[in-house]
Amino acid sequence: MKIVIGSDHAGFDLKERCKEFIKDELKLKVEDIGVYDKSPSDYPDIGHRLARAMLSKEYDFGILICGTGIGMSMVANRHKGVRAALCHDIYTAKYSRLHNDANILVMGGRVIGDGIAFEMIRTFLETPFEGGRHKRRVEKIDIDKE
């Protein structure tokens, strides 16, 4: 399994710690697409970059972190085929996979602590999509035009 991770400056510290957790604890490959320091950055730049990386099919899942997680989820969800879920607890992380087939986990670096972030990542990556009636609903998410 290959993971791609990105953040703005507000999510930088949590991103660094999540990277270590994914590598050392989960023993998975993770590619960091920035930012690489804490100087001020614009979350849409990284959000679009990571969404495009996900759609390239090079990665199984993405993780985005900004201050609240709100900006990153707004940006990523502009991309057809991306289902970015802003999660704050294990329940939402689990059901974002089971029912929504989320492909990007979004977190707020100024909102949650390391422990909950790590367990959300573990849950998100381990939980399969339930399919069935949820497949029909997920297929209705993307629209070509109004």
Contacting positions for ligand RB5 (CB under 6 A)? 8, 10, 43, 66-68, 70-71
Residue among 44, 33, 43, 49 at smallest CA distance from 11: 43
Q: From the CB of 40, what's the least distance to ligand RB5, in Å?
A: 8
Q: Smaller CB distance to ligand RB5: residue 22 or 75?
A: 75
Q: From the CB of 96, what's the least distance to ligand RB5, in Å?
A: 18
Catalytic entry in 9, 18, 66, 87: 66
- Residue 56 CB-density burial (10 A; 0-12 exposed, 13-18 middle, 19+ buried): exposed
Residue at token pair 């399969």? 128
Catalytic entry in 48, 79, 87, 99: 99
Q: Which two tokens stand for residue 31?
A: 């590619």
Q: Which two tokens stand for residue 102?
A: 């989320």
Give 72's Cβ-side CA count (13 Å radius): 32
Q: Smaller CB distance to ligand RB5: residue 40 or 128?
A: 40
Q: Smaller CB distance to ligand RB5: residue 17 or 99?
A: 17
**Active site includes 9?**
no
Q: From the CB of 22, what's the least distance to ligand RB5, in Å?
A: 21
CA gap 77, 62 in Å, rounded: 12
**Active site includes 66?**
yes
Q: Which residues are catalytic?
A: 66, 99
